[in-house]
Every structure is written in structure tokens, then in C-alpha cells.
Structure 1
Amino acid sequence: MESNDISLSLPSKVLEPIKQELTGIIKSVFKSMMDREALPYWMKKQEAQIYMNVSDKTLDKFIVDGLRVSVVDGVQRISKKSADKYYEDHEL
């Protein structure tokens, strides 16, 4: 049977900075995920920008394009479900 495993040996002075960089990237990704999940289900526009990872102008374009916004007494909220559906509807 053929093995696709690759073995690479690097000196610790080379490996340590790589480990530090990867650790920083992983911490940053997990923080972003935790921040995103901590957002309320019904989001203000600023929160929806974070959830959808877009600028305010892009969010406004999405709304014009069909992203659903709930409005109650002039208060606008975007649900996580609507944001997810909008992205799903635009998958290629």
C-alpha cells in the first residue's frame, strides 16, 4: 500500500516562530467565531455587519438586493436566519 505521509524535520529555531504564528492565527479565528456566535439572534445593522463580515455599504447593498429586515416601530433588526439564508441563496 502506498503512503502519502510526508516527514519534515526542522530545527527548533525555525519551527518555533512558525508555531507562534500559527497559534496567533488560531486564537484570532476562535475569537472571531466566539464574537460572531455571541451576537443576538435579532441583530442591529452594526451587529449584522460583524455577523456577515461586511462593511456598512455592503450590508446596505445586500438589503437593496433582498436581505430581509424586520421593522417594528421604526426599529430595524436582521435575524441570523435571514443573513444565513441570504448567503445560501447566493451560492454558486
Structure 2
Amino acid sequence: MGMSITFPDEFLKGVQEEVVKQASQAVKQAEVKSGLPFWMKKKQAAVYMNVSDKTLDLFIADGLRTVVKGGVQRISKKSADEYYQQYEN
């Protein structure tokens, strides 16, 4: 036995607008991320990882791998991805 649900047009329009908004934000974020260099400065890494500077510092203290050479600190996209992957369920 099937069941059908009818939603008001206003509700469906709101859902459609929200889906378009979220998709647009995802595309913009992907464009920003793809434009970042492989070896990122901390601010770039925070954008790539979608966190604040303070949270990035916590991630580094927690084990996010960085490279420091001549006083210059960099974080690779690979290290950022691996850091998140270790916490995936």
C-alpha cells in the first residue's frame, strides 16, 4: 500500500531555494579550495579546512602535520586531508 504526501507550493519553493543556496555555496567553496596552493600558509589552510585560525592551532596541537623551514610554517593539502580522514567514522 503506497502513501503520498502533498506539500504546499510555498514550502516546496522554500526547499528549492535552500537547495540552490547550499549548492551555490558548495561550488564557491570548491573554487576557493582548488585555487589554494598545495603548500599552504596557516590562513590558507584554515580556509581549506573550513575552520577558524584558533581551531587550526588546536588541530596543529592535536597532531596536524606541518613543515617548518627557516621559520616559515606550511601545511600541505595532503596533511589536512589525512588529518580529517583519521577521524572519519
Give the shorter-chain TM-score range. 0.7 to 0.9
Q: How many residues align?
A: 89
Q: Which residue of 2 aligns with 1:43?
A: 40
* TM-score, scaled relative to structure 1: 0.76
Runs of 5+ unmatched residues, structure 2: none
Runs of 5+ unmatched residues, structure 1: none
Aligned Cα root-mean-square deviation (Å): 2.3
Q: Distance in 1 between matches of 2:88 and 2:7?
A: 41
Instruction: Calculate percent identity across the aligned residue pairs.
Output: 48
* TM-score, scaled relative to structure 2: 0.78
1:26-77 Cα offsets, whole Å, 9 max, x none, are 1111111111121110000001001111111111111111111111111110
One-letter code aligned to 1:55: S
Bigger Rg, which one: 1
Q: Distance in 2 between matches of 1:84 and 1:72?
A: 21
